[in-house]
Structure formats: C-alpha cells, structure tokens
Structure 1
Amino acid sequence: MHKLHILNKLILILGVTICQFGRADAQTIYTSSWGKDAPLTIGGLSALGVGFYLESKIEPLKPAEIAKLNRAEVNSLDRFATHQWSPKAAKASDWIRNANLLAPFLLLSSEQVQNNAGRFMLMYLETLALSNGASLVIKSLVKRKRPFVYNENVPMEEKLKIYARKSFYSGHATMGFVSATFFARTYQDFFPDSDWRAAVWGISMGSAGAVALLRVFAGKHYFSDVIAGGVVGALIGYGIPEIHERKFNKTNDDSAFVLSFQIPL
C-alpha cells in the first residue's frame, strides 16, 4: 500500500476543482486551453498511474543478492554515497522538500496571483503530476539499488524493502527542483520589477540543492541520481509556466478556460 505523503495530497487538492469555461481575461499573465492543458494534465496523471502500477511489480532484493554486492562495482563518482547513512539527513531532506512543495502557495497571498488562481493552480497540478509521474516510471523501470544497500552498517531490513531498488533518479531532487523552479519562475512573471527576484531564485535553488545533497549524505541516492532528478525537475518547473505564458501580441483564444478551486479549511 502506498503512503499518501504530502505530494500526493497536494495533487489531490489541486485535482479536486470545478472547471468554469469562459473567455480569458485580457490582462492575465498565463493562458490555458484544452489544446495545452488536456495533454499535460492527462499525460501527467496517466504517468502517475503507470508509475504506481510498475512500482507494485518491483521485487525486493534477496539476502543472497545483497551478500554478493561489492561497492567497487559502483562508478567512482557515485561510490562516495555507498559509505553514507544518516536517517537525520533523510528527515531533513523531507522537511525541506515539503517546504519547497508548499512555497508556491505563498504567492496566493498576492491579489494579482489570486486573480489568476485557477490557471496558477492548474499549472502547478500539471507540474507535480508530470514530474512525479516521470520519476515513478523511470525508478520502476531502472530499479537501481540505492547506495545504502552496499553499506554494511545499514540494517538488513532496510535493504530488503522495495524502495531499496528505487534509486534512479531521485524523486526528492526532482520535487525539490520542480517546485523551487516553478515558484521562482512564476514569482518572476508576476512581479517582473521586483528587487527580490534574484534573492527568490537564489534561495529557491539553494533549498533545492540542499535537498539533493542531503539525499546523498543520507545514503539514499548517488550523485548521478540527484543530478538527473534536479535537471528533470528544473526543466519541468520552468517549462510549464513557459508553455502557458501569454504572448501579448496575439489575440486571446476563446477556448481558454479558467479553473477555480476551493480548499476546505
């Protein structure tokens, strides 16, 4: 049974929405249309479904397999991680990742963002679904052993869990960078004249980088895992707002739709 962690809860909250069709506001920063959003949303949610299915088919490692492992088989860049094991670092990475995932909601305190709330939330739904879905699918297909599996100081019970075969690529790094990049990019779009743009980018990327490094020091991922996850996350986090950015020299599309939502407190 899958644990419904904060990311899945966010996707559910964003997904439980009411679609209201109408003409897009001429002053809006982002546009939405069936041509853009149907493939992105359906594709992301489908990837999640496929990912969960493939994940359910992963077989855990056997003690005999683990006994034969030798960290010398790991490439020199990634071998460092096989000596690491820190539950505290893992917990810290969870907290920072969760903070990054929640950061975009801070923008809703602005009236300008509130006026674009439907599109903003739809974009974030697409961003999270695509990035998490892609990560799940790749992890479940590659089935790379996590670095702690090579560490003789780690309890055998940890090595026998299914998640011990889900190293590439790092979901934490992906989520850290996708949310941080989405937050910084949308802040830049909504507030192009703000003196805080550089600081927002710096803090966002710094926090995402911290998540990635902590995953290595926790023994959960190799450097190659977090680099790949960070690149994928950054591309999706930047790309979704780019796809939706309104081109002011073009007429607005009547097929655009506004997504309104209500989150019960």
Structure 2
Amino acid sequence: MKLLPRRTDSTSLRAGPAALLVLACALAPVATGAQEATYPLPSYDVNLIDRSLMFSYSEPIDIASDYTQYAAFLAPSVFALAAPTEDWLGIGAMYAGSAMISFATGTLLKAVIERERPYMYFDDPPASAIADGDYIDSFPSRHSIMAFTGAAFTATLFKERYPDSPYRVPAVVAAYALAGVTAGLRVGSGSHFLTDVAGGAAIGTFFGFIVPFASSRLGWLD
C-alpha cells in the first residue's frame, strides 16, 4: 500500500466560479479536510455505473487515444476540399473559437473538480501522474472534449452550409467514429471513468455545434 496526500473523499472541490461550483457539488462530495490516503483506493467510493468500467493504467492505450483525438480534432480540415477558398478564413476562425471555448471549459472544470482517475483504484498507477498531480484531474475528459468538438463542428457546418457535398457523409461518420473510439480508449486506458468521457463528449458536442450554427444563422459566412 502506498501513501499520498489527498482530501477526505475520492472526489472533492477547489474554489471556483459559483455556477461551476454548483455543478461540481452535484457531481462530487465536498472535502472536509486533508489527510493521508492509501492507494489503491477503495472502489466502493465509485458509483455503480463507473465502477462497472474501471481499468488499470495502460500506456499503449493512453498513447493510442492521443492519436485518435488528434485525428478527430482535425476532421474539419475536410472543408479545404468541401468549401470554396473564400470560406476558408471564416471556417478557420469559427473552428478556432469552438476549440478555444471547449479547451477553456475543460481546463476550468478540471481546476474546479478534483476526481481521482480510475487507475488510482489499482496497484500500479503511473508515478509521473502522481508526481505532477494529474491523477486528480479525471473529470472531464479533455480528449473527449476536443475530439467531439471536431466531430460536432464538422457535422454542423456540413448541415448548415454544404448539405449536398459528397464529402459530408464519409467525413461526419469518420469524425464521430474517431471521437467515439477516443472516448473508449480513455476509459480502457484507465485514465477516465465513463461519466468523465460522457461529460467531455457533451461539452465538445455543444461548443462544436453552437458556434457554426450561430455563425451560419447570423450570416457571418455570407
């Protein structure tokens, strides 16, 4: 059994904006004080849904999820083929906006919510993650956020601006497949719980959708 500094509960809160604090309270118990904790952590602290899909750390699967995330995130590059050149600058600006908002939201939530990663419930968590504090950044999955941002942006922009493009169906199917695989790999690598990747997928889908949808309806590409 190994010891590391942690708070009383396996999931706890830091100070943050009021709205995010309410969200965090709904997801996790509030810390009541600092103490030493052993790992592996007791799995009975984990809700039944997440407990059913908990895995020890796998570096190869972790690395694979990096590549699928990058591929899904780059899905909007298909518009270099599907969109006229005069639209490229506007599309790039929209996607930069979606990506930055998604990334910032994930970063802020990780700063507000402390949740141990699934690999902390096993005997062999990665030492580097413990050393740099990454082991408490389980919620939400930022890989899922960025992958689903790319997929949702691609699907929405095709629907709004280029519905008859021959690239639409294969690009959207590939983007969502890569995003889904990314989420699955994050769970399989022991880096995230199912609710972490579900939350990340919801965040990424929302910001990947709302920016191109609003931009199209407001005529910013016209």
TM interval, shorter chain, is: 0.7 to 0.9
Unaligned runs of at least 5 residues, structure 1: 1-61, 259-265
Whether the 8 Å CA contact 2:156–2:212 is kept in 1: the answer is yes
Whether the 8 Å CA contact 2:40–2:123 is kept in 1: the answer is no
Whether the 8 Å CA contact 2:82–2:167 is kept in 1: the answer is no
1:102-148 deviation line (CA, Å, top 9, x unaligned) = 22123123451x21122211111110110000000001110111111
Matched, 1:165 2:136: yes
The separation in 2 between residues aligned to 1:149 and 1:133, in whole angstroms, is: 26
Whether the 8 Å CA contact 2:39–2:122 is kept in 1: the answer is no
2:158 matched residue in structure 1 = 187
Give the number of the structure with larger relative contact order, counting CA–CA contacts within 8 Å between residues 6 or more apart.
Answer: 1
The separation in 1 between residues aligned to 2:123 and 2:206, in whole angstroms, is: 36
1:12-67 deviation line (CA, Å, top 9, x unaligned) = xxxxxxxxxxxxxxxxxxxxxxxxxxxxxxxxxxxxxxxxxxxxxxxxxx994234
Unaligned runs of at least 5 residues, structure 2: 1-33
Query: What does 1:1-265 correspond to in 2, within 5 Å?
Result: 64-67=36-39, 69-110=41-82, 112=84, 114-246=85-217
Please provide the CA RMSD for this pair.
2.6
Whether the 8 Å CA contact 2:55–2:187 is kept in 1: the answer is no
* Greater shift in the superposed pair: 188-197 or 167-176: 188-197
Decide whether aligned partners of structure 1 residues 242 and 89 sit closer, same or farther in structure 2, where only a CA change above 3 A counts.
same
Instruction: Give the Å deviation of 1:195.
Output: 4.7
Decide whether aligned partners of structure 1 residues 82 and 180 sit closer, same or farther in structure 2, where only a CA change above 3 A counts.
same
1:59 matched residue in structure 2 = none
- How much identity, in percent, do the aligned residues show? 26
If you compute each CA radius of gyration, which structure gives the higher value, 1 or 2? 1
What's the TM-score once normalised by structure 1's chain length?
A: 0.65
The separation in 2 between residues aligned to 1:215 and 1:118, in whole angstroms, is: 33
Name the count of aligned residue pairs. 190
